[in-house]
């Protein structure tokens, strides 16, 4: 009976996981696109954490109509765009950790990172933006830890001091050395 339940449970789990197709997203951590975006983040964020960049959900978009973009003051036509969600961290003052998930666009033909203004008119890019989330989150662990220390440490000192404080008036009253006239 136990074997039948185990086999049934295993079969249900296999069907469940295969039906939903849990496929790991393609993540890029090297290459020309990675290097260009890493360089852009280093210049754009003074508190950028080195080695934290990961490009997720990388997709190649072939354009039906070429788009003109600026490269060193010249208009250049591109026919391919690589879109991705860049995940990286910034650390300010060693306590303020931010996790960034930004859309990044890269033109492999001219080896250049594109701005959102260059590609916002493209319908495939708008579909990409609807499909994946872009956000910034602040990690509150270190901040709450410091705030807890600011509250807890003084309370500990007060607790220890109140237990061991010495009152000369209390000593005089207990031993009858005070004259209450």
Where do the structural domains in the chain lie, given as residue ranges? 20-139, 145-174
Judging by DSSP bridges, how do beta strands 135-139 and 96-107 pair with one another?
Answer: antiparallel
Give the global pTM: 0.65
106, 114 contact by CB (below 8 A): yes
Predicted pLDDT of residue 121: 86
CA 55 – CA 67 distance, rounded (Å): 23
DSSP 48: B
Predicted pLDDT of residue 47: 92
Place of tokens 């033109």: 107
142, 98 contact by CB (below 8 A): no
**Three-class HEC string of 18-33:** HHHCCCCCCEECCCHH
Sequence length of the chain is 181
- Compute φ and ψ for 81, nearest 5 degrees: -130, 135
Q: Which residues contact 135 (CB under 8 A, 6 or more apart)?
A: 101
Best CA proximity match to 94, nearest among 145, 134, 53: 145
In order along its 181 residues, the chain shows pLDDT tens digits of: 766 765 565 655 565 544 443 344 456 666 888 899 999 999 998 999 998 999 999 999 998 888 888 888 888 999 999 999 999 999 998 888 889 999 999 999 898 999 888 888 888 899 999 998 888 888 888 888 888 899 999 998 888 887 777 778 878 888 888 887 7
The pair of three-digit structure tokens given for residue 119, joined into one six-digit string: 């590609």
The pair of three-digit structure tokens given for residue 69, joined into one six-digit string: 């973009």
57 sits in which H/E element:
strand 54-71
Judging by DSSP bridges, how do beta strands 27-28 and 54-71 pair with one another?
Answer: antiparallel
């Amino acid at each position: 009976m136990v074997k039948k339940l185990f086999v049934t449970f295993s079969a249900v789990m296999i069907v469940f996981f295969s039906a939903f197709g849990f496929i790991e997203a393609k993540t890029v951590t090297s290459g020309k696109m990675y290097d260009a975006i890493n360089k852009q983040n280093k210049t754009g964020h003074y508190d950028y954490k080195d080695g934290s960049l990961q490009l997720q959900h990388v997709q190649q978009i072939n354009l039906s109509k070429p788009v003109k973009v600026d490269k060193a003051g010249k208009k250049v036509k591109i026919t391919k765009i690589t879109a991705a969600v860049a995940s990286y961290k910034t650390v300010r003052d060693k306590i303020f950790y931010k996790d960034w998930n930004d859309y990044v666009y890269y033109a492999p033909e001219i080896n250049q990172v594109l701005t959102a203004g260059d590609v916002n008119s493209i319908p495939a890019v708008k579909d990409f933006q609807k499909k994946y989330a872009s956000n910034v989150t602040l990690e509150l662990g270190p901040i709450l830890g410091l705030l807890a220390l600011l509250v807890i440490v003084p309370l500990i000192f007060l607790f220890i001091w109140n237990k061991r404080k010495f009152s000369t008036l209390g000593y005089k009253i207990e031993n009858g050395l005070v004259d209450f006239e």
